[in-house]
Amino acid sequence: MIWAVVFQAIKSRFFSRESQKLHTSDLSARLSAQYPNVIPAFQWLVQYNVFVCQACDPNLVHFSHDRLAEFFLRRYIQDTGTPLTELHRSLIPGSLVDPIVQQSVQDTIYMLFSGDRLDCINQIVFILRGDDDWLISILTDALLRIAEEKSDALTHILQETSQYILKWQFLDLIRSVLLRINQKLDDMSYYFCQKS
């Protein structure tokens, strides 16, 4: 029941097209038929700082920290089996630029690398064939994270991926990785210029 409450908060915040925020009354109405003790579960989550109650609106369902929202969104994506290529269409349009969403999707992609190698390659191929710039940008960041930890794993992934996509798609991926590295270097040099 705890997961149902958390996932309902995730769905409402990132996937629902309704403009209103989730309140405990909405939570109760949506889940009480399946789970009769929804409000005590919500109160338990508040007690253990997963959610916070604000003085201006104590019935508003709000995560206590962005890192918790990232974790639960990643878990929601994994548990529901939402294909990564479908995320762009299922998320609320405004949430595509939300750092919480971007980090959660990046973590989801990153976790593919530690799982089944064939599934990982399949997901990367589907992402690249989908030609979704938003998702390819997040994939690029995940690939750079892998490169920081294990450069040989990145080399293997790129070699495997190159066999299943068109040459121009592979070149776009390499270009995207190189541009992201260049951007990070520019950010670092700007930071160091500001310090001195």
The boundaries of every CATH 1.10.10 domain in the chain are 2-64
The top-level CATH class assigned to 2-64 is mainly alpha
**Which pLDDT belongs to residue 196?**
62
CA distance 98 to 80: 21
Are 130 and 85 a contacting pair, CB within 8 Å? yes
- How does pLDDT run across 110-148, given as a tens digit for each residue? 888 888 888 888 888 988 888 888 899 999 999 998 888
- Residue 27: its pLDDT value, please? 79
pTM: 0.82
Q: Read off the pLDDT band of 103 (50, 70, 90).
A: very high
What is the rounded distance in angstroms from the CA atom of residue 154 to the CA atom of residue 32? 47
Sign, Cα dihedral of 85, 17, 102, 43: negative
Task: Report how far apart, in Å, the C-alpha atoms of 184 and of each of 18, 29, 46, 138, 177 are.
Answer: 37, 47, 38, 14, 11
